[in-house]
Amino acid sequence: MMSSAAAVPGTAPSFDLASLNVILSKYKDSHLPSSLWQIANTAIPFFSVMALMYLTSYKGYWPVTLLLAVPASGLLMRMFIIQHDCGHGSFFKSSRANDWVGAVIGVLTLTPYTYWKQTHAIHHSTSGNLDRRGYGDIETLTVKEYAALTPWGRWKYRAYRSIPVLFFIGPAFHFVLYHRWPGIIPADWKAERRSILLNDLALVALLAFAHYTVGLKHFFLVQLAVGIMTAIAGVWFFYVQHQFEGAYWSRDAQWNVVDASLRGSSFYDLPRVLQWMTGNIGFHHIHHLNSRIPNYKLERCMNENPVLQNPSRLTLWKSFKCVSLTLWDEDRQKLVSFKAAAV
C-alpha cells in the first residue's frame, strides 16, 4: 500500500490513491435507517432542549437558559454535520433528499445550503494548496508574503489571526451577518446567490412567527445564544482540522489529494461525548480522502483499516497549542508562529 516516496513535501504521494479508493469504496454508500436514526436522535433532543430554553426564559431563569445553550449548541453542531453530509451527497442516496434536508437545516445553522455546498467543495479540492487559497478556508499567509506586507497589512493580518477575532468576533459576524449578503460571492453563482436570498427569506418568516408566538426578546436571547456558541465551536473545529503542527501545504505543481488529506487533515481524537456532538468530523483525514462516506461510517472505516490509523493525531489538550501557528514557512515546510517567523 505504501509507495516508495517518503512523506516529505514535494515528493510523490505517501500512499497510492487507487489502492486507498478500493478500501474507501466499501464505506461510501449511505444507509437509510442509519441516516433517519441520526436525524431523530439529533433533532428530537435539540428541539426539546430549545423548548426548555424558551420555558426558562419566560420564567425569568436566565442563568438556566444560558446554561442550556451549551447542550443545545452541541446538538446544533451535530445538525450542521448532517447538513454537511447532505452537501457532499453522502447522507441520502437521493440528491433531492440531500438538498431538501440540507436547506432546511441551513435555516437553523444560519448557513445557506447551496452557497455553502459550493464553497465547501472548493475547500475540498484546494485544501493545502498554496496557489489556490481563498474560498472555504482560514486565511493563511506564507512567511514571505507576510514579510512583504505594509505595516498596516501586517497589523490587519495579526488582528485577523488573533484569538478574539478568529474565534469569537469572527464566527458571530460570519454566521449572523456575513451569510445574509449575496454579494459575498461572484454574480454568476446564481444558484448560490439564490440560496442566500431564500435562507434570508426563511429567517424573516421565522422572525415573524416568533413575534406572534414566543416574542422577539425571548427569540433573540435563545437563538443568538445557541447560534453564536455553535458558530464559535464550529470555527474552532474547522481550524484545528487543518491548522496544526505538521500540517501539509504545497504549491500547485506538487500538490496531491492523498497528502493533503492524510497529512493536511488532522485526526481530532475527542472525548466520546464531543465526538458524538461533532458527528465524527474528527476523522477528518478519511473525510477528505472520500467525502461520500457518511459521518456514521468514518470511525468504522478507520478502525478496520490500519493504513488509515496513523494520521496527524490531535488530542483536545494538544489542539489548544495550535492557536499560535499563524504563517506557513515554505523553507522549513511547517506552520510557525509570528515569533518563530522572526519577521
pTM: 0.92
Q: Is the pLDDT of residue 324 over 50?
A: yes
Which pLDDT band, with edges at 50, 70 and 90, does 137 fall under? confident
Q: How confident is the model at residue 134 (pLDDT cuts 50, 70, 90)?
A: confident
Q: Please give the angle made by the CA atoms of 169, 280 and 135, to the nearest 5 degrees.
A: 45
Q: What is the mean pLDDT of the chain?
A: 93
On the question of pLDDT at 218 being above 60, the answer is yes
Q: Give the full edge-to-edge strand order of the sheet including 141-142.
A: 141-142, 327-329, 334-336
- What's the pLDDT at 14? 53
Q: From CA 267, how far away is CA 201, in angstroms rounded?
A: 38
Q: Is the pLDDT of residue 10 over 80?
A: no
Amino acid 51: pLDDT: 97
More confident residue, 12 or 239: 239
Question: At 147, is the secondary structure helix, strand, or coil?
Answer: helix
Q: Where are the domains of the chain?
A: 25-132+165-236+251-316
- List CB contacts of 238: < 8 A, sequence separation 6 or more: 138
| Nearest of 78, 49, 44, 61 to residue 230 by alpha carbon | 78
- pLDDT tens digit string along 169-186? 999 999 999 999 999 999
**Is 70 exceeded by the pLDDT of residue 92?**
yes
pLDDT, mean of residues 237-246 = 93
245-273 pLDDT tens trace: 889 999 999 999 999 999 999 999 999 99
Distance in angstroms between the alpha carbons of the first and the last residue of the chain: 42
